């Protein structure tokens, strides 16, 4: 791992689990870490917890509800009022929901958080990422999207563009969540394509099962038991994301899905350039702030 002393990183969902482990690792390497939580109180608590592990950490709390577009805009504006440059953006916030919920923006909560949140916040911070990259051509700015390896077998995961909000039929997290993971991979590819030549690289990470996080609190049941029994600790699961955010080896790689520091294939719709462009267009259409 390379030191990123003096550089600025922003990590969403950093109040617990995997994202908190990533934020802690980046702080340990010398970055100023903006710790994003759904509320100011949760972000401040995470700052205290990270500082207990890294006493000399430079940390800033930032409140942002990634399911709410007005909150995303407010958080981006607050960050930009304090920082001209951003060097590392880790999009790690996410939700699993047992029942269907609709946000204030009229979007299904899982899609709003897991896809639109990544899309909107990244777009709002792009200029800061480009400024951070231009300061030192040898050190690109990096975007790391926490995603998941989706099914490439007989029932290949697909995005139903006619039902992005999972409004048809019966709702379940098994229907709503996997397409959002594919969506993150597609957005990673599209951002990478649009940012070529900017010295900003974008990659996605499949961390695998991570035990004892709050992500599955609403779901419970066998899936949560399997995850907590066989999953990795958050610190171990954070390794590839931190490597992508800091290492010289990953400085020139963009638009890929990774696990255990190795590139993964993106089967089915994950290799469809038309699908990724269509998802981008749909996100633009659903945006109220871009």
Catalytic residue list: 173
Residue 290: other Cβ atoms inside 10 A: 12
**Contact predicate 153/99, CB 8 Å:** no
> In what side-by-side order are the strands of the sheet with 200-205?
58-63, 32-37, 8-11, 88-91, 141-146, 200-205, 256-259, 262-264
Instruction: Give CA–CA dist 60/36, Å, rounded.
Output: 8
Alpha-carbon dihedral angle through residues 229, 230, 231, 235, given to the nearest 10 degrees:
90
**Contact predicate 130/80, CB 8 Å:** no
**Contact predicate 30/4, CB 8 Å:** yes
Q: Own/partner pairs for 73-78, CB < 8 Å, 24+ apart?
A: 73/120, 73/124, 73/289, 75/36, 75/121, 76/121, 76/124, 76/125
Chain centroid to CA 197:
22
**Contact predicate 290/120, CB 8 Å:** yes
Residue 24: other Cβ atoms inside 10 A: 27
Instruction: Give CA–CA dist 202/11, Å, rounded.
Output: 14
């Amino acid at each position: 791992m390379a030191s990123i002393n003096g550089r600025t990183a922003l990590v969403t969902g950093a109040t617990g689990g995997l994202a908190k482990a990533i934020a802690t690792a980046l702080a340990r390497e010398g970055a100023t870490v903006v710790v994003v939580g759904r509320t100011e109180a949760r972000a401040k608590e995470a700052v205290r917890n990270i500082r207990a592990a890294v006493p000399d950490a430079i940390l800033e709390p930032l409140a942002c509800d990634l399911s709410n577009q007005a909150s995303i805009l407010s958080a981006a504006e607050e960050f930009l009022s304090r920082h001209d440059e951003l060097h590392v953006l880790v999009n790690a916030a996410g939700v699993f929901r047992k029942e269907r919920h609709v946000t204030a923006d009229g979007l299904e909560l899982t899609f709003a958080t897991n896809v639109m949140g990544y899309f909107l916040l990244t777009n709002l911070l792009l200029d800061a990422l480009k400024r951070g990259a231009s300061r030192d051509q040898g050190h690109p700015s990096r975007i790391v999207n926490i995603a998941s390896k989706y099914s490439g077998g007989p029932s290949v995961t697909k995005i139903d563009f006619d039902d992005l909000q999972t409004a048809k039929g019966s709702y379940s997290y098994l229907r709503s969540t996997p397409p959002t993971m594919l969506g993150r991979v597609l957005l990673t590819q599209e951002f990478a394509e649009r940012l070529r030549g900017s010295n900003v690289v974008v990659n996605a990470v499949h961390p695998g099962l991570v035990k004892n996080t709050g992500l599955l609190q609403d779901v419970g049941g066998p899936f949560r038991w399997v995850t907590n029994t066989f999953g990795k600790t958050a610190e171990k699961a954070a390794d590839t994301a931190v490597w992508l955010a800091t290492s010289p080896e990953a400085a020139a790689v963009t638009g890929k899905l990774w696990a255990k520091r190795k590139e993964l294939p993106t089967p089915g719709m994950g290799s469809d350039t038309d699908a990724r462009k269509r998802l981008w267009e749909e996100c633009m259409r659903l945006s109220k702030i871009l």
